[in-house]
Copies of this chain bind each other. A is one copy, B any other.
Amino acid sequence: DYAALPQIVIGVCGGDGIGPTITHEAERVLRFLLKDEVEKGKVTFKEIDGLTIENRAAHMKAIPDDVLAELKACHVILKGPTTTPRAGDEWPNIESANVAMRKELDLFANVRPVKVPEEGIDWTFFRENTEGAYTLGSCGFETEDGISVDFTITTTDGTQRIAELAYDFARKNHKTRVSIVTKANIIKATDGKFLKLCQAVGEKYPEITTDDWYIDIMTAKLVDKKRRTDFQVFVLPNLYGDIITDEAAEFQGGVGTAGSGNIGKRYAMFEAIHGSAPRMVKEGRAQYADPCSMLRASVMLLSHIGYQAQADKLTAALDKCMFTEKALTVTGRDTGCTCTEFGDYVMRTIETL
């Protein structure tokens, strides 16, 4: 309960590429919305600089120890996109920073809302965030005769807590339906267990209808304009949640428009769902980065720590200020508006609400 805390510490990690630009902008808007709380000392912001790929590579660690200690001294974290090293590029083979943070801070739920009001879409995805195909990413191996093996792990506790969070959300928000998505017909031990346990949790919520789908057919259903508006709340294992939320975000205008909340019992971290766009930085266009996803993540952060009125204001302003359409009209320049100009525009809009 954040209301009871003497002070709420919001950690801010810029990350890589355009990350610092858009995260800084989101912090500016948050400070504007929380002005009184910051003045009272109820809310404070703490910059955490060490989550860059250079620092992580220097320490050969997804999250260097001192950075992890700083993160653990916060209550909630706003995080910019971070570079994930991959085979063949200049960085050593360290784990993705957001995946590591999800595990280290036990952020077991990845919550992603997708809304397209004019099409009747109002979905909330509850993606299990610490297990599944993501658990043992560095334990896979290759035998001498060319057989490579990876593992998928699903635990009873891990499944129960994500299912309970999804159904609690559904109950609290008067949703009537929860859809469980797996590939339990093929991936029997782990997905079979996930399906069975989610169904068992669902039985404790008699007012809510439970249905279940295979992930292949669900990616098709989301495209089907006649059927997709029936869905409300989804609960899924890690990998399927990863896959289907990118597809879903596209209907809303792309991954650039979507934020994601990584929620645990002790900590919570809010981030953009897109990458760090190194090309924009290389081409000297970082100042034109679109901060919408970080601002959507900020809405989730505000709501999570109990500032619902501020969250609603920011949502209303963002709905009016959609970056892509408004970027030109704000400045009249044909290069569009900068990230800072867009932030100013959002704050001006908030003042008119």
Interface of A toward B, CB cutoff 8 Å:
84, 86-87, 96, 99, 133-134, 137-138, 140-142, 146-157, 183-193, 195-196, 215-217, 219-220, 222-224, 239, 242-247, 249-251, 254-255
Q: Is the CB of A243 within 8 A of B255?
A: no
A187's partner among B84, B87, B133, B247 (CB-CB below 8 A) is: B133
A189's partner among B96, B134, B149, B239 (CB-CB below 8 A) is: B149
Kindly report which residue of chain B lies nearest to residue A197, judged by CB atoms: B146
Complex: how many Å from CA A150 to CA B150? 9
Kindly report which residue of chain B lies nearest to residue A156, judged by CB atoms: B146
Q: Is the CB of B185 within 8 A of A84?
A: yes
Kindly report which residue of chain B lies nearest to residue A140, judged by CB atoms: B189
Shortest Cβ distance from residue A71 to the other chain B in the assembled complex, whole angstroms: 21
Top 9 A-B pairs, shortest CB-CB distance: A140-B189, A146-B156, A219-B247, A220-B250, A223-B250, A216-B246, A220-B246, A148-B189, A150-B152
Q: Is the CB of B220 within 8 A of A86?
A: no
A96's partner among B134, B185, B215, B239 (CB-CB below 8 A) is: B185
Complex: how many Å from CA A185 to CA B239? 12
Identify 5 residue pairs between A and B in the complex whose beta-carbon atoms are under 8 Å apart, listed by A's number: A96-B186, A148-B153, A149-B190, A219-B243, A223-B223
Complex: how many Å from CA A193 to CA B155? 27
Kindly report which residue of chain B lies nearest to residue A238, judged by CB atoms: B186
Q: So how many copies of this chain end up in the complex?
A: 2
Kindly report which residue of chain B lies nearest to residue A247, judged by CB atoms: B219
Q: Is the CB of A133 within 8 A of B219?
A: no
Q: Is the CB of A184 within 8 A of B141?
A: no
Q: Is the CB of B243 within 8 A of A187?
A: no
Cβ contacts under 8 Å, A223 to chain B: 223, 247, 250-251
Kindly report which residue of chain B lies nearest to residue A239, judged by CB atoms: B183
Complex: how many Å from CA A146 to CA B208? 27
- Report if A155-B146 is in contact (Cβ < 8 Å); known contacts: A87-B195, A247-B220: yes
A150's partner among B86, B188, B247 (CB-CB below 8 A) is: B188
A193's partner among B142, B154, B192, B245 (CB-CB below 8 A) is: B142
Kindly report which residue of chain B lies nearest to residue A189, judged by CB atoms: B140
Shortest Cβ distance from residue A239 to the other chain B in the assembled complex, whole angstroms: 7
Shortest Cβ distance from residue A177 to the other chain B in the assembled complex, whole angstroms: 19
Shortest Cβ distance from residue A147 to the other chain B in the assembled complex, whole angstroms: 5
- Report if A217-B246 is in contact (Cβ < 8 Å); known contacts: A151-B150, A183-B239, A190-B148: yes
- Report if A142-B249 is in contact (Cβ < 8 Å); known contacts: A149-B152, A184-B87: no
Complex: how many Å from CA A184 to CA B242? 13
Complex: how many Å from CA A14 to CA B140? 41
Shortest Cβ distance from residue A330 to the other chain B in the assembled complex, whole angstroms: 23
Complex: how many Å from CA A103 to CA B255? 37
Shortest Cβ distance from residue A289 to the other chain B in the assembled complex, whole angstroms: 18
Cβ contacts under 8 Å, A183 to chain B: 133, 239, 242
Kindly report which residue of chain B lies nearest to residue A216, judged by CB atoms: B246
Shortest Cβ distance from residue A129 to the other chain B in the assembled complex, whole angstroms: 12
Task: Pick from A86, A189, A190, A245 the residue with the most CB of B within 10 Å.
Answer: A189
- Report if A188-B140 is in contact (Cβ < 8 Å); known contacts: A220-B247, A246-B216: yes
Shortest Cβ distance from residue A144 to the other chain B in the assembled complex, whole angstroms: 11
Shortest Cβ distance from residue A261 to the other chain B in the assembled complex, whole angstroms: 17
